[in-house]
Structure formats: structure tokens, C-alpha cells
Amino acid sequence: MTALVTGATGTTGRRVAALLESAGADVRRAARSTSPGFDWLDPATHDAAFEGVESLYLLPPLATPDPAPVVAPVLERAVRRGLRRVVLLSAAAVERGTPGLGVVQDVVLGTVPEPSVLRPSWFTQNLLGDHLTARGLRAGEVVTATGDGRVPFVDAGDIAAVAVALLLDPAPPEPDVLVTGPEALSYDDVCAIWTEVTGRPARHRPVSVSAMTARLVADGMPADYAAVLAGLDGLIATGAQARTSDAVRRITGRDPRSVRDVLQEACPARP
Ligand SMILES: NC(=O)c1ccc[n+]([C@@H]2O[C@H](COP(=O)([O-])OP(=O)(O)OC[C@H]3O[C@@H](n4cnc5c(N)ncnc54)[C@H](OP(=O)(O)O)[C@@H]3O)[C@@H](O)[C@H]2O)c1
């Protein structure tokens, strides 16, 4: 089979592509920066990307407030040409039918013969690299509107392992999979683990949702997206995002990696 991986240069997609390849699958990587390029917003790039494709890791276009009308016709045409299985990357906080990714979930479940919607919690990789939280940790202060709400951070490698198991399983995949790490942590907990692992102090400063929105805008984020992300912080503060699942163990056969494991591997302690 040919497996198409969209978002193939990103945090999850590059891990999905590598795992599929090591499992012997014929992998086609798709992103604007691959060669040939694939751009959701450029229909001239779609047919070549989907030629001969039976399974798809689907990362919808990111900077598009309403991705469903972009994704739906591409999927419909691809299904007519032999696409059977799609694993969609959505998010734990996104319910079916809600604007944006929630409508994409409906499109995938209604269009594809063997659909699966992955709903991962917040990525542990947000604590590393260029993410605002990661920059905050390195600077010694993480600002959120999450209060003492907890999040079961999940490793992007575990999300990819679940996606690949579902893409390769001979049986049709589970349609809705909540993917989390092993335990729910507050940002106070995250700062404490960071401090222990790296030897560099960091603390959490809780702010209101509106102050968080302003902060994200000041960091360069478009105002509507900033309001959505800060609103998700507010949702975490209510306790609504603290639930863990057994999906990583159930689907991959091994335990999910903890925040501590991932930080220890990525951040050598200061001598
Ligand atoms: N971070 C979190 O905590 C979290 C939690 C739950 C869910 N999520 C979801 O995860 C998704 C992001 O996934 P990720 O972190 O794996 O991706 P990512 O690292 O943000 O990378 C985005 C990928 O999409 C490609 N891309 C961007 N615009 C494109 C376009 N118009 N056409 C084709 N490809 C395009 C990029 O490559 P090019 O630039 O080369 O095109 C890149 O490969 C979001 O939908 C988010 O809601 C994130």
C-alpha cells in the first residue's frame, strides 16, 4: 500500500512517516516544503499526492479557520480513487461538529470507509523547542490561564506510534481515540519537573484568559487564534481536560512516556 503522510515535516507527521517506513510501508511525504510540494490550498498539487494512495495520515491545513471545505472535496475524490483508511489528527479538546477541526472529524467519519479520529492531549513537545511554553520554561516563568487545572501531556512519538498502529492494523481502526500521557499534570507540576530535571528554576504564573490572549497576540499570533488557544487554557482550568486514557498501551502494547522521561532525554541537566 502507499501511505500518504500530510504534515510530514511537522512534529507528529515526521515521526509517523519514519515509523511507517521502518515498518516497511511505501510512504509518500506531503507538505509545502517537500518535493514535489503539497499544499492544501493549491488544488493543482492534490492529484499527484493522492495517486495510488490507500491510507492517509491527515493533518488538515493549520492556518485556516474553517478547514472542512478545503479537506472534504480532496477526500471525496481520493476515496473514489482508492483511499480506504484515514487517521485524522484532531485534539482532545475538540468535540465532533464544533467549528474547525470538529467539522473535519464529521467529514472524515462520513466520507472514508475506515476512519479514525485521534484526539491527543497537549503535546509534551510544547515544553521543548520554539513553543511559547518552552521559551517560558527556559526563561524561568511559564504564563498560562490554566490555573491549577491539569493536562495529561502526551509525547508526539506516542501519538505517532498510535497513528501507525491504526494505519497498519489489518482490522478497521477505532473511530475515536483519546490519546494521553500517563498522568495529568498542572503547569506548577511541569515547572517543578523541569526544575528537577534541568537544574534550571522555572515557575508558573497564572493569568486570566483575556490577559493570556493579549500575551499570545503580543507574541505574534493572529487575534482570533490567540483567543481560541487562551480559551482552551480556560477549559483546562475547569478540570475538563485532565482525563487520561489507556490508548497508547492498548494500541501499541507499551506504556506512554511521561513528561519526565521526555525532558530527561531532551535536556541534559546543568552540571
Ligand atoms: N501542540 C499541541 O499541544 C496539540 C495538541 C492537540 C492537537 N494538536 C493539533 O496538532 C496539529 C499540528 O500538528 P503537528 O504539531 O504535527 O504539526 P506542525 O509541527 O505544526 O507542522 C505542520 C505541518 O503541516 C504542514 N503544512 C502547513 N500548512 C500546510 C498547507 N497549507 N498545506 C500542506 N501542508 C501544510 C507543514 O509543512 P510545510 O510548512 O512545509 O507545509 C508541517 O509539515 C494542529 O492541528 C493542532 O490542533 C496540537
pLDDT recorded at residue 226: 93
Task: Give the Å distances, CA to CA, from 68 to 47, 64, 76, 119.
Answer: 18, 9, 12, 17
Residues 63 and 115 occupy one common structural domain: yes
Ligand 1 centroid to residue 121 C-alpha, Å: 15
Residues 107 and 38 occupy one common structural domain: yes
- All three cell numbers of 121, joined, read 492531549
pLDDT recorded at residue 271: 56
Ligand 1 centroid to residue 271 C-alpha, Å: 35
Q: In the chain, which residues have pLDDT < 50?
A: none
76: domain CATH number is 3.40.50.720
Q: Which of 57, 62, 245 to mutate to test the pocket of ligand 1 (most atoms within 8 A of CB)?
A: 62
Last residue of a domain, one of 95, 120, 145: 120
Closest CA to ligand 1's atom 29: 61
pLDDT recorded at residue 64: 81
Ligand 1 centroid to residue 77 C-alpha, Å: 23
Yes or no: say if 66 and 102 are a contact pair by the CB < 8 Å rule.
no
Closest CA to ligand 1's atom 3: 122
Residue 166 included in any domain: no
Ligand 1 centroid to residue 199 C-alpha, Å: 31
Radius of gyration of the chain (CA): 19
Q: Reading across the β-sheet that carries 176-179, which strands appear in turn?
A: 26-30, 2-6, 53-58, 85-89, 114-120, 176-179
Whole-number Å distance between alpha carbons of 91 and 166: 17
Angle between helices 13-22 and 156-168 (to 10 degrees): 50
Ligand 1 centroid to residue 62 C-alpha, Å: 6
Yes or no: say if 37 and 62 are a contact pair by the CB < 8 Å rule.
no
Whole-number Å distance between alpha carbons of 125 and 40: 25
The amino acid sitting at 179 is V
The tens digit of pLDDT for each residue in 239-271 reads 999 999 999 999 999 999 999 999 999 986 665
Nearest atom, ligand 1, residue 6 CA: 34
Structural domain including 194 reads 122-155+180-242+257-265
Yes or no: say if 237 and 145 are a contact pair by the CB < 8 Å rule.
yes
pLDDT recorded at residue 210: 98
Last residue of a domain, one of 120, 138, 164: 120
The amino acid sitting at 133 is T
Q: Which of 71, 89, 125, 233 to mutate to test the pocket of ligand 1 (most atoms within 8 A of CB)?
A: 89
Residue 250 included in any domain: no
Nearest atom, ligand 1, residue 40 CA: 32
Residue 27 included in any domain: yes
For the chain, give the number of residues. 271
143: domain CATH number is 3.90.25.10
- All three cell numbers of 84, joined, read 480506504
- All three cell numbers of 13, joined, read 507527521
The ligand 1 site (C-beta within 6 Å) comprises 7-13, 31-33, 38-41, 59, 61-62, 89, 91, 120, 122-123, 126
β-pairing, 53-58 vs 2-6, is parallel
pLDDT recorded at residue 145: 98
Whole-number Å distance between alpha carbons of 10 and 89: 12
pLDDT recorded at residue 129: 93
Residues 68 and 143 occupy one common structural domain: no
Residues 198 and 143 occupy one common structural domain: yes
Whole-number Å distance between alpha carbons of 214 and 223: 8
Torsion of CA 232, 17, 137, 269, to 10 degrees: 150
Ligand 1 centroid to residue 102 C-alpha, Å: 16
- All three cell numbers of 28, joined, read 509518500
The amino acid sitting at 76 is E
